Amino acid sequence: MTKETYSLWLVGGTALLVADTALPGQQYVLDSLLFAQLRADKLNGSRFSHYARWYSGYRSVMEARGWVFTRSGSDYQRLAEGAQLTPTLLLKEKLQARHPRLCGYLQAAIAKLSQDQVQQHLRPFTVAENEKACALVLELGVLLPDASMTLCGLAVDSEQADGVDLRESVVVLGDSVTQDVRQHLHALLEKKDKARHIRNLGPLIAEADHGHA
């Protein structure tokens, strides 16, 4: 039996693990995620200034592009006094709880996300610069072989560093998206020079996965 393999993509402020068998339809996934982020920035204001409002807009744009949210939830977690927050690890734990077999790939993704050049690519979408608002907004997701997506996002408030706003969604593509729609969206991002915000970091080599086959 062939074991599923994954690559890591950066899409604006989203780091997405993509199953290699999902590749035939991946371009619309990547384009949709980026377009929804950029559109929410325009219509709902900065993701750093009011994350809940921005995320609502982000989700609405995804739905308008033909995506169906089969599960969605939010949670505000307060950190214990003196606790250290590592956002990428928190998102990894959330995804791993839902997809334990991906433990090794998620660990490899976190290692890549810690690299300086990767941080520089993400920074415009994830770190507030000179804004008295959220210090950090980040999303980690996985596109599974069946083309469903699990997305986990968070925002850390620089004024209230003891809390984290968490968002989790399971998303699938509806049947109404035609090839023309896919091509038009990709052409639009290319025309506006936005497609450069999508980057392939290459295949992931799964690290020790604590006994998951």
Query: How many whole angstroms separate alpha carbon 142 and alpha carbon 92?
Result: 11
Label residue 21 left, alpha or beta by phi (over 0 means left) and psi (-120 to 50 means alpha): alpha
Are 164 and 154 spatial neighbours (Cβ–Cβ below 8 Å)?
A: yes
Query: How many whole angstroms separate alpha carbon 14 and alpha carbon 30?
Result: 10
For position 210, what pLDDT does the model report? 46
Convert the pLDDT of each residue in 22-31 to its tens digit: 867 899 999 9
Convert the pLDDT of each residue in 174-199 to its tens digit: 998 999 999 999 999 999 999 999 99
Are 44 and 197 spatial neighbours (Cβ–Cβ below 8 Å)?
A: no
Convert the pLDDT of each residue in 93-103 to its tens digit: 999 999 999 99
38: confidence class by pLDDT, cuts 50, 70, 90: very high
Query: How many whole angstroms separate alpha carbon 70 and alpha carbon 199?
Result: 27
Q: Taking the complete model, does pTM exceed 0.85, yes or no?
A: yes
